[in-house]
Amino acid sequence: MGLSVGVTLSGLGNASEECYFAALRQAGLEPVAIAPSASPEAIAAAVRSTGGLLLSGGPDVHPSRYGEEVEGSEVNGASTLRDAMEFVAAAAADAAGMPILAICRGAQVLNVHRGGALLQDIGESHRDGRKQDEKWKPFHLVETDGASRLAEVLGSSAAEVNSRHHQAIDPERAGEGIAIVARCPVDGIVEGIEGTDPRRFVLGVQWHPENMAIGPEDTMERAQARAIFEAFAAAVRERVGAASLS
- Looking at residue 105, the DSSP 8-state letter turns out to be H
State how far the Cα of 104 lies from the Cα of 234, in Å rounded to an integer: 21
From the candidates 19, 86, 104, 191, which is the catalytic residue?
104
From the candidates 194, 208, 221, 230, which is the catalytic residue?
208
List the one residue out of 240, 231, 241, 220 whose CA is nearest residue 192: 231
State how far the Cα of 39 lies from the Cα of 182, in Å rounded to an integer: 35
CB 215 within 8 A of CB 221: yes
210 is known as an active-site residue: yes
DSSP-based three-state secondary structure for 36: coil
From the candidates 143, 191, 210, 221, which is the catalytic residue?
210
DSSP class per residue in 159-175: EEE--B-S-EE-TTSPP
φ, ψ of residue 169 to 5 degrees: the values are -65, 135
State how far the Cα of 218 lies from the Cα of 151, in Å rounded to an integer: 20
**β-strand 168-169 against 118-119: which pairing, if any?**
antiparallel
104 is known as an active-site residue: yes
Which positions ≥6 away from 13 have C-beta within 8 Å? none
Amino acid at 154: L
What residues are annotated to the active site? 104, 208, 210
